Amino acid sequence: MKEFMVSEKFRLEVHWKKISYEKEGIANIQGCYLNGPVLKEVDQLNEEDFIKLDFSNQYIIFVKNYYISELSWSGVKHTTEKIFLYNAKLENMNINVVPKLKNKDHIVIDTQNHEDEKHQYNMTYTSYLLKADGSLYNFNGSK
């Protein structure tokens, strides 16, 4: 897999303090927040909502088809630098098949195809899991 490319303008990051797997198919995310340059362009998020994160490019060796997880929340707080998501969770029926997220990992979302005129044609957000040091997880072992 080659290294991913996300334009800084469209970069959105999902960070958390703690992640736990208490039920099959669900990862609970505590201290979840969004940040990145794209926040300057984002409208107010709904108090309760979700987005679909497409990890297919990165997780193809673990699942036979696509790997799309739903990031949902109920509760939002907007600040100038971050959007805090309360009661956040990540759901997918294969969540126990792919490597578990760690507390210091984070997700980078490419929002390029989600500007107002394109969003209706793109139902998922291309996403990548990164390690604490900012490097991309390379699950297939090659460089």
**Mean pLDDT in order along the chain per 10 residues (143 residues):** 62 95 91 93 88 82 75 95 96 78 93 62 81 80 47
* CA triple 6-48-12, angle to 5 deg: 10
**pLDDT value of residue 2:** 43
**pLDDT value of residue 98:** 75
The whole model's pTM is what?
A: 0.84
**pLDDT value of residue 77:** 96
**pLDDT value of residue 143:** 43
